[in-house]
Amino acid sequence: MVAARDRALHNVGMSLHIRAACVEDAAAILTVLNPIIEARCHTVLDTPFTLAEERAFIEAFPECGVFHVAERGAEGEIVGFQDVEPFATYTHAFDHVGVIGTFVRLDCRRQGVGRALFDATFDAARDMGYEKLFTFIRSDNDAALSAYGSQGFREIGVASRHAKIDGVHIDEIMVEMFL
């Protein structure tokens, strides 16, 4: 896990604090992630996670990855998280490439949480030696395409009918950016 990286900033009157995730965050992370999964229109994840699964995921998170949470307000309510994991572990050829994921609580979107996470994660990923970030975004996820585009990601291809959710095929847009 990346060393704690604390950042305080103020966006649209909302105080945000970005820090490294820890296993105690698992339940709060699921209050962000599971409703997004259940909505079935944002992500290719299709099955909500249990607390035990999320705790195990955080515990096993690679040392060379970045896992940030965004806390809001005096009580440190978690309103979003972002992670970067190595693109592959079967070769060192991709060691400079990270795969990024971003999730903001549905009722906290468009308030700068994503932007704050990207800022902190780009710095941490650079410090860890990543040179490039990559991910897939559902072609019907306009918000994510805009959010990643606003951060400098460019679309590099389409994996056609790559996902199938509730029997419907969905294209996946590949995006990349150089740090």
Ligand X SMILES: CC(C)(COP(=O)(O)OP(=O)(O)OC[C@H]1O[C@@H](n2cnc3c(N)ncnc32)[C@H](O)[C@@H]1OP(=O)(O)O)[C@@H](O)C(=O)NCCC(=O)NCCS
Q: Which residues bind ligand X (CB under 6 A)?
A: 36, 42-43, 102-104, 109-115, 135, 137, 141-144, 146-147, 150
* Shortest CB 171 distance to ligand X, Å: 13
DSSP category for residue 49: P
In the three-class reduction of DSSP (H, G, I as helix; E, B as strand; rest coil), residue 158 is classed as: strand
C-beta of 95 vs 140, nearer to ligand X:
140
Report the residue number, 58 or 135, with the smaller CB distance to ligand X: 135
Q: How far is the CB of 92 from ligand X (least distance, A)?
A: 26
Of 109 and 162, nearer to ligand X (C-beta) is 109
Q: Based on the number of CB atoms within 10 Å of its own CB, is 60 exposed (0-12), middle (13-18) or buried (19 or more)?
A: exposed
Beta carbon nearer to ligand X, 46 or 59 = 46
How far is Cα 61 from Cα 57, in angstroms, rounded to an integer? 6
User: Taking the complex as a whole, how short is the minimal distance between the CB of residue 151 and ligand X, in angstroms?
Assistant: 8
Residue type, 5: R
Q: Which helix (H) or strand (E) holds 115?
A: helix 113-127
Q: Which residue is nearest to ligand X (CB)?
A: 114
Pairing of strands 97-104, 132-138: parallel
Residue 167 CB, shortest distance to ligand X, in Å, is 21
